[in-house]
Amino acid sequence: MMVGMTRAQRTLYSVLGLTGFLLFWELSLRSGLLPGSLVPLPSSIPGVLWLELLDGIWFDVVRSSLSHYSVGVLLGSTLGIAVGISAALLPRFNAAHAWLARLLRPIPPLAWIPFAIIWFGINPSAAAFIISIGVFWINYFASYSAVHSIDPGYDEVARAFGQQRFLARLTKVSLPAAAPGILSGMRAGLGQGWMTVVAAELFGIPGIGQRMMEASSLLATDIVVVYMLTIAALYATFDFLFMVVQRRLLRWQS
Amino acid sequence: MTDSSMTMPPVLSARNVSLGFDDTTILAGVDLTLHPQEFVAVVGASGVGKSTLLRALAGLLAPQSGRVEIPAAITRDSRAWSMVFQAPRLFPWRRVQGNVELGLEGLSLSKAERRRRALEPLALVGLDEFAERWPHTLSGGQQQRVGIARALAVQPRVLFMDEPFSALDAITRRRLQQELVELRRRTEAAIVFITHDIEEAVLLADRVMVLGNGGMDQPARVVEILEVDMPLDDRRDYPEFAPLVQRVETIIGSY
Ligand SMILES: Nc1ncnc2c1ncn2[C@@H]1O[C@H](COP(=O)(O)OP(=O)(O)O)[C@@H](O)[C@H]1O
Ligand SMILES: [Mg+2]
C-alpha cells in the first residue's frame, strides 16, 4: 500500500488509470495510430455485448462453459483433496504413488487434449476432463502440505481424549486443522479452472472458447473482447463468493 | 491421601518400567502405585525423561519393558485417564465449549448431557462465561484453564499433568496452583503432576518422586521418593515447607 493515500484517493487513481487506458486505446484507433483490424473500439463493446445477449448466444455459451467448468472443478477438487489427504495420512500410499505423481505432475493440462478426444470424443466430458487435471494438481499439493504440516500435538490431544480411531482423527483433527490450506488450494483451483476452460473448448466443444475461436476467424475482435471480459467477470464472481464461504468457515482464525 | 483411599484398589500401577527410543533407554526401573485422590509430583532436571514417563503411564507410548496398568475401564460416561499438557493445545477451530466436550464425544452421552458435563468443569475453573468464545480470544492462563476443564470433564480416575503451569507468568501460576489445591477436594482423580518447579511439587503433592541420572551412559532412574506430610492449605506457611524444598533441591543437585 502506498503511504499517505486515503482509500478514496486510491479509488480515484484506479478509476483514472482505467479510463485513461480506455481513452488512449479509443483515441489511438480513431486517430489511425492503431489499425482497426487488430483491436476493436472500446466504445463498441457494450453494443456488441447487447447483441450477443439479445441473440441468446451469450447465455448459451456461458451455460455450456459453466457446466464444463463446474464438473471439471468439482471433479478435480474432490479427487485432488482426497488423494492429497490420503497421501499425507497413509505413508505406504504416499510412497507407492510418489514417483507416479512426480512423473505426471509436470504434464500441462492441455497436453491431455489428444487423449481427452480419444477417450471422450469432442464433447463436454472431454472439456471437463481437461479442466479437472490442472485443478486436481493444485488441490492435491495444497491438501497434502496442509495435512502434512499439522502440529502432531493435536493428534496426541485426540489420542489422549479417546479419539484415536482413524475416522475420528480425520474429522476432528486432520480436516479442520488443514482446512485453511485446503481452502486456499480450492480457491486457487477455481482460478486455474477458468484458465483451461477456454483452451479446452477451442477444438470444437460448444462454449466460450469455441465462440471466441469462431469470432476470431471472422476477425470479429469486438466479440472476442466481450468474452474475455465475460471470463474476467465470472472469475471475479466465483472468487468473491468462495472467499465469503472461506471466511465463514475459517472464522475461528485470529 | 486418606487412609480409606489406601484400602481401595490402585488406579494406576507401574512395575519396573523402562523407557526409551530405538535402542537407547532413557529411564529405567520405575515403580509407581497410585490410589484414588493421591497426588504424586515428578521432578527432575530437564531432559531426564519426565514427559516420556508420563506418556508411557498414560499408554501413549509403549514401555521398553515392565508393565503399566490403569485398571479402570472406560465407563458409560467417563474415561480412565486424561491429560493436561504443558501448552494448552486447544483446537483453535472449536469454541471453548467444543474443546471441553472433546473427550466426552464417543461416550454414551446425549448432546444436552455433554453440554452440561462441559459447563461444570468450566465453571470450576471460572470460565463458564467463556464457553462460546474462540480459543484465540483467551489469554494464555485462560487457555490453560480450559485445558484443565477439558481433562476434568471426562471425570478421569487418573489425571496426568505435564508441567501445566510452566508457560504461565508467576501471578497466573500462583492462582492456578491455588485452584488445583481447591480442585483436589472435589475430584476423585489421582494426579500425576510433572514439574521442574520443586516448590510447586512440595506445595501440591502427597509424594514427590525425584528422577536423576543413573551415572555414565546409564539411563535415568527414580533416585528418591519423599512423603509430604503437611495439610494442603497454605503449605508455604509451615516450618517444614522450606527445608523440604531445600532437601529435594539438594537431591536433584547431586545427580
Ligand atoms: N520422540 C522422541 N524420539 C527420540 N528421543 C526423544 C523423543 N522424545 C524425547 N526424547 C528424548 O528423551 C529424553 C527425555 O525427554 P523428555 O521426556 O521430554 O524430558 P523432560 O520432560 O524430563 O524434560 C530427552 O533426551 C529427549 O531428547
Ligand atoms: Mg517435559
Q: Are residues B164 and B64 in the same domain?
A: yes
Distance CA B131, CA A212 (A): 56
Q: Give the model's confidence band at A254: pLDDT under 50 very low, under 70 low, under 90 confident, else very high.
A: confident
Q: Are A185 and A82 in contact (CB under 8 A)?
A: no
Do B180 and B55 share a structural domain?
yes
Q: Is B78 on the interface with A (CB under 8 A)?
A: no
Residue where a domain stops, chosen among B123, B154, B185: B154
Contacts of B106 in chain A (CB under 8 A): 162-163, 168
Q: Rounded mean pLDDT of B166-170?
A: 85
Q: How far apart are CA B121 and CA B106, in angstroms?
A: 19
Range of the domain at B120: 86-154
Ligand 1 centroid, distance to B26 Cα (angstroms): 8
Task: For chain A, give the longest Cα–Cα distance.
Answer: 77
Position B185 in a domain: yes
Look up residue B9 and give its DSSP letter. P
Whether B26 and B61 map to the same domain: the answer is yes
CATH number of the domain residue B234 falls in: 3.40.50.300
Residue at which a domain ends, from B154, B171, B193: B154
- Interhelix angle A45-55/A57-89, nearest 10 degrees: 90
Any idea which residue has 468450566 for its cell?
B122
Query: How many residues does the structure list for chain B?
Result: 255
Average pLDDT along chain A: 93
CB-CB neighbors (< 8 A) of B54 in chain A:
none
Regarding whether B163 and B53 lie in a shared domain, the answer is yes
Chain centroid to CA A170: how far? 27
Q: Is residue B190 part of a domain?
A: yes
Convert the pLDDT of each residue in B34-57 to its tens digit. 999 999 999 998 889 999 999 999
Q: B40 and B92 share a domain?
A: no
- Statement: residue A184 has pLDDT above 90: yes
- CB distance A153–B102 less than 8 Å? no
Domain-embedded: residue B78: no
List chain B residues with CB under 8 Å of A156. Answer: 60, 85, 89
Q: How confident is the model at residue A25 (pLDDT cuts 50, 70, 90)?
A: very high
Residues B61 and B106 in one domain: no
Give A177 Cα–ligand 2 centroid separation in angstroms: 24
| B173 interface with A at CB cutoff 8 Å | no
Average pLDDT over residues B190-202: 94
What pLDDT score does A2 carry? 53
pLDDT the model gives residue B215: 76
pLDDT in tens, B237-255: 999 999 999 999 999 888 7
pLDDT for B198 equals 93
Are residues B244 and B166 both part of a single domain?
A: yes
Please tell me if residue A167 touches chain B, with a CB cutoff of 8 Å.
Answer: no
B191 plus B150 within the same structural domain:
no
Question: What domains appear along chain A, each with residue ranges and CATH number?
Answer: 48-249 (1.10.3720.10)
Query: Of ligand 1's atoms, which has the minimum distance to the CA of residue B50?
Result: 22
DSSP one-letter code for B105:
B
> In this structure, are residues B12 and B70 in contact, taking their beta carbons and an 8 Å threshold?
yes
Residue A125 contacts residue B47 (beta carbons within 8 Å): no
> Per-residue pLDDT for B1 more than 50?
no
* pLDDT tens track for A88-104: 999 999 999 889 999 99
Phi-psi category of B40—alpha, beta or left, where left has phi over 0 and alpha has psi -120 to 50?
beta
SS (H, E, C) A158-179: HHHCCCCCHHHHHHHHHHHHHH
Ligand 1 binding pocket includes B24 (Cβ within 6 Å): no
Q: Which of A30-34, A80-84, A236-240, B85-89 has the lowest mean pLDDT?
A: A30-34
B42 and B165 fall within a common domain: yes
Last residue in a domain, options B128, B154, B180: B154
**Inter-axis angle of helices A221-249 and A208-217, to 10 degrees?**
160
Q: CB of B47 closer than 6 A to ligand 1?
A: yes
User: Average pLDDT, stretch A10-25?
Assistant: 94
Listed in sequence order, the residues at least 6 apart from A101 whose beta carbon sits closer than 8 Å to its beta carbon are A87, A140
Residues B118, B174, single domain; the answer is: no
**One domain for residues B62 and B122:** no
- CA-proximal residue: ligand 1, atom 25 (nearest): B47
* HSE-CB of B9 using CA atoms within 13 angstroms: 5
What pLDDT shows up at residue B100? 98
B94 touches chain A (CB under 8 A): yes
Residue B54 Cα, ligand 2 centroid: separation in angstroms?
A: 9
Q: Is residue B123 part of a domain?
A: yes
Q: How confident is the model at residue B6 (pLDDT cuts 50, 70, 90)?
A: low
Q: In the numeric block, which cell numbers belong to residue B126? A: 471460572
**Arithmetic mean of pLDDT over chain B:** 91
Give the pLDDT mean for B222-240. 92
Rg, chain B, Cα only: 18
Cross-chain residue pair A162–B106, CB shorter than 8 Å: yes
B28 with B64, same domain? yes
Which residues in chain B are contacts of A252 at CB distance < 8 A? 92-95, 134-136
Cell of A234: 465470472
Mind listing the pLDDT tens digit for each residue in B115-136?
999 999 999 888 999 999 999 9
B77 domain residue, yes or no = no
- pLDDT on residue B5: 55
Cross-chain residue pair A157–B82, CB shorter than 8 Å: no
Gap from B151 CA to chain A (nearest CA, Å): 8
Determine contact, residues A72/A137, Cβ cutoff 8 Å.
Answer: no
Name the DSSP class of B219: P
**Count of structural domains within chain B:** 2
Does the beta carbon of B20 sit less than 6 angstroms from any atom of ligand 1?
A: no
- B193's enclosing H/E stretch is strand B190-194
pLDDT at B222 over 70: yes
